[in-house]
Amino acid sequence: MANLKSVQDGIVNSQIWKSIFRVGIPNTNRKRVLAVLGSLILHLHPVKVRRSGVRMSYTWCMGGTSFFLFLVETVTGLLLMFYYRPTIEYAFTDIMDLREQAPFGIMREMHRWGAHAMVIAVWLHMFRVFMTGSYKPPREFNWNVGVILLVLTLLLSFTGYLLPWDQLAIWAITVGSNMARASPGAGTEGPMSSLLKLGDVPLIHSGDDARFALIAGKSIGAATLLRFYVLHCVVIPLAAGFLMAIHFWRVRKDGGISGPL
């Protein structure tokens, strides 16, 4: 044990260690404060938190779980991007290769199950926040940011659903996107759309309606795949990341992790 202690001391007192961790082992209250304040990652937290806010039975840890799963999706998604080309020729075969050829390949599995788990985690997080009344003033705005994040989570999962380009993918997206055809005033089969016309020329037709805008064509094809890929990998994650920053910031500014006010 004495040896282990001296090894530990050696590491902790080395110039390398000290250059990375500014505070050292946080074994005094002063160091505990500095450890949280001095770290980019940890300073998302306040220095001190309510006792009730630390209890798992109160928070269910679902907000943290959602965020963690978002990070899992980011990492596994980046790895998948090395293997995947979003074109009709390659999309399916790339996934096939990934499945059959990549040794110990569980990244696609983890990405898919992580996505399902994230949707459930976000719902449960919303459920907990509602049940504790944590949307009440001053947290109204943050609840709204949360609702948008929930929608973005669903859209992330929806756009990702198409990418394997198998039967499951295109038909799920077909069913999902067919609904856009019925947008009132904006889809070919939507109520009131047929009233919008110039003389005999209809303004809303299958070549310019809401569904066309969603899937970039009259039917699901190469353009849809590319569009969903860019939305899935770039646009929505960036938007979600930005809103998450606001979400976490507002948790702090609105009085910390929810508890009785």
Partner 1 sequence: MDFIKNFVNVLSVASISFVLLSAIFGFILYFNLFDGKLKSKSGYAFLGFGIVLILAGLFARPLLYLGIAYLLIMFVLANLGGRLWDKKVGLWLLIFGAAGFGLSMLDPNFNLIAAKPDNVPIAAMIFLLGFFTWLALRKAYLNDKQIEAGGIPWEKTESDEKLFTWPDLVYTELLCMILLTIVMIVWSIGLRAPLEEAANPTSSPNPAKAPWYFLGLQEMLVYFDPWLAGVVLPTLIIVGLMAIPYIDTNPRGNGYYSFRERKWEIGIFLYGFLVLWSFLIITGTFLRGPNWNFYGPYEYWDPNKLEPLVNINLSELVWVKLMAMPLPKLWFIREAPGLILVLLYVALPPLLAAGPFRRFYLKMGAPRYYVGAMLFLIMMSLPIKMVLRWLFNLKYIVNIQEIFFNI
Candidates 25-33, 197-205, 229-237, 245-253: pick the segment binding partner 1 (CB under 8 A).
Answer: 25-33
C-beta closer to partner 1: residue 108 or 233: 108
CA gap 13, 139 in Å, rounded:
44
Among 75, 79, 124, 226, binds partner 1 (CB under 8 A): 124
Q: Say whether residue 240 binds partner 1 (CB under 8 A).
A: no
151 binds partner 1 (CB under 8 A): yes
Residue 161 interacts with partner 1 (CB under 8 A): yes or no = yes
- Pick out residues in 126-145 that bind partner 1 (CB under 8 A): 126-128, 130-137, 139-140, 143-144
* Residue 29: other Cβ atoms inside 10 A: 9
Any idea which residue has 């599995």 for tokens? 109
For residues 180 and 158, give the distance between their C-alpha atoms in angstroms, rounded to a whole number: 14
Piece of the chain touching partner 1 by CB under 8 A; list 7-15, 78-86, 119-127, 230-238: 119-127
Q: Does 21 sit near partner 1 (CB under 8 A)?
A: no
Q: In this complex, which beta carbon is closest to partner 1, that of residue 176 or of residue 235?
A: 176
Q: Which two tokens stand for residue 65?
A: 């779980």
| 165-199 burial code (b ≥16 CB/10 A, e <16) | beeebbeebeeebeebbbbeebbbebeebeeeeee
The answer to whether 227 and 216 have CB atoms below 8 angstroms apart is: yes
Q: Which stretch binds partner 1 (CB under 8 A): 13-21, 117-125, 201-209, 230-238?
A: 117-125
Beta bridge partners of 202: 197
Position 244 contacts partner 1 (CB under 8 A): no
Chain residues 42-101 in contact with partner 1, contact rule CB under 8 A:
42, 45-58, 60-61, 64-65, 68-69, 72, 92, 95-96, 99
Q: Judged by CB under 8 A, does residue 117 bind partner 1? A: yes
What part of residues 197-216 is at the interface with partner 1 (CB under 8 A)? none
Residues 6+ apart with CB under 8 A from 76: 107, 108, 110, 111, 114
- For partner 1, the closer of residues 229 and 258 by Cβ is 258
Q: Are 75 and 215 in contact (CB under 8 A)?
A: no
